[in-house]
Amino acid sequence: MWYFVVALVVVVTLIWQMTDLKARVVDLIARNLREPKGLVGHLVRIILGKGNASLENETVKHLNIQPDHKVLEIGFGPGIGLNAALEKVEHSSGKVYGIDISEQIVESAQRRFKEAIKRGKLEIRLGSAMELPYEDDLFNSVFHTNCYYFWPSLEQGISEMKRVLKPGGIMLTGLFYDALLTSTRKGFLKYGPNWRPELYIEKLKEGGFVDVAMETVTKPSGHTGHSYQVIFASKP
């Protein structure tokens, strides 16, 4: 009989520890989605660079970037979107800007895009969406994918994006709505409480953006079978 009790205690302890372990792993990933750091940060960057590359590419396509445009990406992570935007302005006077809150992300992009930075086609900064280090009315467009969830204040981020956009400029956000719901349910957006697209849209309208709309695009090239969402807004 006591064998049974011991076995039961062992099994319960194991399950308890495993559950605890799972919670720790989820917490670690959730933290690194908000701000990639250390070894897990590197892993998160590499995984995002594969898993969300098509979303970054597709989002840039919707921007209709002209060769002389100035474009900002917030929270660029692995830098797929910066790269796609750079291709559009390569042969003219346009320029791409990137800002991210993670030191590791910024250092990694500085290495990857050394050459474009040297040529003055790209400018990378360490900083937050809460306080954009750019002058008023500078950009033709500002975009981000999977980023606003983590901002401490949506109002503040929206007001900053509006300030740095030229009148008539476009704000664009790309996301996978389904993946977002799954991620939230699993706890991966523990540090991204403002993930709801409906809330973001409401705040954009309240913040003075016009023509605010979310569109679902099905079967994008390069990401077969998945649809994604884009949220558009313009500065009047």
Ligand X SMILES: *[C@@H]1O[C@H](CO)[C@@H](O)[C@H](O)[C@H]1NC(C)=O
Nearest residue to ligand X by CB is: 51
Distance in angstroms (rounded) separating the CA atoms of residues 215 and 204:
15
Q: Using CB under 6 A, which of 57, 70, 71, 75 touches ligand SAM? A: 75
Q: Using CB under 6 A, which of 183, 201, 209, 235 touches ligand X? A: 183
36 binds ligand SAM (CB under 6 A): yes
**Per-residue x/- mask for ligand X, residues 33 to 52, rule CB under 6 A?**
--------------xx--xx
Distance in angstroms (rounded) separating the CA atoms of residues 14 and 6:
12
DSSP assignment letter at 35: S
Q: In this structure, what are the phi and psi dihedrals at residue 77, rounded to the nearest 5 degrees? A: 55, -125
63 binds ligand X (CB under 6 A): no
Beta strand ranges found along the chain (DSSP E): 70-74, 95-100, 122-126, 139-145, 165-175, 210-217, 228-234
CA Rg, the chain, in Å? Answer: 20
In the block, which residue shows the tokens 């372990």? 21
> CB of 1: closest distance to ligand SAM in angstroms?
52
Nearest by Cα to 140 from 69, 199, 90: 69
Nearest by Cα to 163 from 136, 142, 143, 133: 136
230 binds ligand X (CB under 6 A): no
From ligand SAM, ligand X, none, interface partner of 161 (C-beta below 5 to 8 A by class):
none
From ligand SAM, ligand X, none, interface partner of 87 (C-beta below 5 to 8 A by class):
ligand X
From ligand X, ligand SAM, none, interface partner of 183 (C-beta below 5 to 8 A by class):
ligand X
176 binds ligand SAM (CB under 6 A): no
Q: In this structure, what are the phi and psi dihedrals at residue 190, rounded to the nearest 5 degrees? A: -55, -35
Binding to ligand SAM (CB under 6 A): which residues in 182-221?
A: none
59 binds ligand X (CB under 6 A): no
> CB of 142: closest distance to ligand SAM in angstroms?
12
151 binds ligand SAM (CB under 6 A): yes
Binding to ligand X (CB under 6 A): which residues in 73-132?
A: 80, 83-84, 87
Let me know: does 48 contact 183? Beta carbons within 8 Å.
Answer: no
Let me know: does 198 contact 125? Beta carbons within 8 Å.
Answer: no
Distance in angstroms (rounded) separating the CA atoms of residues 40 and 45:
9
Residues near ligand X, by CB under 6 A: 47-48, 51-54, 57, 80, 83-84, 87, 146, 175-176, 179-180, 183, 222
Which residues of this protein are in contact with ligand SAM, per CB under 6 A?
A: 33-36, 48, 52, 55-56, 74-77, 99-102, 105, 128-130, 145-147, 150-151
